[in-house]
Amino acid sequence: MARTVARLPAGSRITDHISLGVIAKTFPLSKVHSVLVATGTASVRQRNLPSHVMVYYVIAMALYMHSSCREVLRCLLEGVQWLLDPSATIKVTGKSGISQARTRLGWEPVRRLHDELVKPIAVRSTRGAWYRHWRLVSLDGSTLDIADDPANDEAFGRPGSSRGRSAFPQIRFVALVENGTHVLFGTQMARYDTGENTLAKGVLPSLQPGMLCLADRQFFCFSMWNLARQTGADLLWRVKTNALLPRETEFPDGSYLSHIYPSEKDRRHKTNGVQVRVIEYCLEGVAGAEPIYRLVTTILDPDQAPAEELAALYHERWEAEGIFDEIKVTLPGRRLMLRSRRADLCEQEVYGLLLVHFALRHLMVQAGRAADEDPDTLSFLHTVRVVRRHLPLHAAFPPSPAAADAGAGAGRDRRPARRAQPRAPQSAGRQAQDEQLPDPQPRRTGTRRPPAL
């Protein structure tokens, strides 16, 4: 039976129909519009690059790190080209127009979208995400290189080196990591010379009851411990070996109760102390291991969490390093350096990077749940490649009914459309530059470390 060829509604712009497949499923257009309205950045004039398009563009820009700004926009527009005329050439806005549109958008809407939607996503059936009844999260930080520009240097600073200063300015960030899904949430960022402990104070309120937070010794102090403890989450943090933790009550598993104090005066008078449980252990036969490791925890009952299990569990904290590697190396394809040359656009780009990482990890968790697999056993690099190949082909088709309703643009035509089948994808020789994929790299594999219970 003959069918009418589907076309865009009369008077509509091609950018009204961008919704970006898996990205729109994670960040629905309705939510994007509400964030824009709340931050006062929604488009009033009918522009070629309205604000909601630029939000998706910022996210897509992080997915295509080594393509030019215009090439990223072209990838987004290709998906709806066939609705106009498959043989027609779409005019892509120039670099200056894209930069002006990003500047109008600013970083606040992207930050708000991140803060409202990027949350832990593990369910009880998610493998590797839990220890007994606790959700495992880790606290850690890192830095990102940004473009070597005087404005960026002044806004963010750069680290020193043995011969002057480093080659690039850097942004420092601290975040919580959901260990089982590799989702970063509660992220805070600032200048390079801002300490991780300072940023951590803004991250810790994202902890919730039912979580077990792992952290390295650099974060431990009385005020930080109390701030994290007041969230209702349980803690398992490493402390320095010279910390004064007298044995008060010993348990059969080798752990013991002690107190920490806000000051030396309080210690002498035994006032304002907080009770903790201390776990000490050694790693025998491990090259480079320190003589002794000391952990403190808010879990005071050894029957709820035996010392041996907590000692093994603490090393899950290193999951955070692998996640930073995903963001800084695997996603961009080589060492990451942000392209923006303005401080506000750098922050916008960082949030775009965090949003696309969340979208990819969300997809992997769903795939692992469907296959009853640990998400850690799935390849992040393969997921990136699949989404890059298919994103342009699904730009006009939201993957969920809610996104489809939102993707109807400004309410121009809400009648169900009868769409013709899209044309076959272009050959590799005509695809975008970033789709010329390198040979697969060997992927490190390993078993999960939580002890069998």
Same domain, 244 and 229: yes
Q: Is the pLDDT of residue 449 over 70?
A: no
The pLDDT of residue 249 is 94
Read off the pLDDT band of 431 (50, 70, 90). Answer: very low
The answer to the question of residue 194 being in a domain is yes
Q: Is the pLDDT of residue 360 over 60?
A: yes
Residues 238, 294 contacting (CB under 8 angstroms)? yes
Specify which residues 146 forms β-bridges with. 338
The pLDDT of residue 83 is 46
The two most distant CA atoms of the chain are separated, in Å, by 90
The pLDDT of residue 76 is 72
Same domain, 304 and 290: yes
Mean pLDDT of 377-383: 85
Same domain, 89 and 141: no
The answer to the question of residue 416 being in a domain is yes
Residues 211, 234 contacting (CB under 8 angstroms)? yes
Read off the pLDDT band of 301 (50, 70, 90). Answer: very high
The pLDDT of residue 424 is 42
Q: Which residue has the tokens 């990136």?
A: 384
The pLDDT of residue 117 is 95
The answer to the question of residue 361 being in a domain is no
Half-sphere exposure of 303 (CA within 13 A, CB side): 0
* Residue 191 token pair: 């200048």
Same domain, 109 and 133: no
Better-predicted residue by pLDDT, 377 or 48 = 377
Same domain, 77 and 94: yes
Same domain, 182 and 243: yes
Same domain, 97 and 221: no
* Residue 334 token pair: 């080589």
Same domain, 392 and 263: no
Under DSSP, the state recorded for 286 is -
Mean pLDDT of 250-265: 94
Same domain, 296 and 230: yes
Backbone angles phi, psi at 257, to 5 degrees: -90, 145
The answer to the question of residue 2 being in a domain is no
Share of the chain above pLDDT 70, in %: 77
Helix spans in 335-376 (H) = 343-371
Same domain, 198 and 289: yes
The pLDDT of residue 140 is 95
Report for 8-12, 32-36, 393-397: range of highest mean pLDDT: 32-36
The answer to the question of residue 30 being in a domain is yes
Mean pLDDT of 137-142: 95
Read off the pLDDT band of 335 (50, 70, 90). Answer: low
Angle between helix 95-105 and 69-78 (nearest 10):
90
The pLDDT of residue 15 is 41
Domain count, the chain: 2
Domain that holds residue 78: 14-115+374-435
- Segment 174-207, tens digit of pLDDT: 999 999 999 999 999 999 999 999 999 999 999 9
Residues 279, 254 contacting (CB under 8 angstroms)? yes
The answer to the question of residue 219 being in a domain is yes
Read off the pLDDT band of 439 (50, 70, 90). Answer: very low
The pLDDT of residue 401 is 39
Read off the pLDDT band of 330 (50, 70, 90). Answer: confident
Same domain, 100 and 153: no
The pLDDT of residue 440 is 38
The pLDDT of residue 427 is 39
Mean pLDDT of 152-158: 89
The answer to the question of residue 450 being in a domain is no
Q: Is the pLDDT of residue 433 over 50?
A: no
Read off the pLDDT band of 291 (50, 70, 90). Answer: confident
- Segment 233-254, tens digit of pLDDT: 999 999 998 889 999 999 999 9
Read off the pLDDT band of 90 (50, 70, 90). Answer: low
Cβ burial 257-281 (10 Å sphere, 16+ → b, else e): bbbbbbeeeebeeeeeeeebbbbeb
Question: What amino acid is encoded at 105 in this protein?
Answer: L
* Residue 366 token pair: 């769903």
Same domain, 176 and 236: yes
Element containing residue 177 per DSSP (H, E): strand 170-178
The answer to the question of residue 335 being in a domain is no
- Segment 209-226, tens digit of pLDDT: 999 999 999 999 999 999
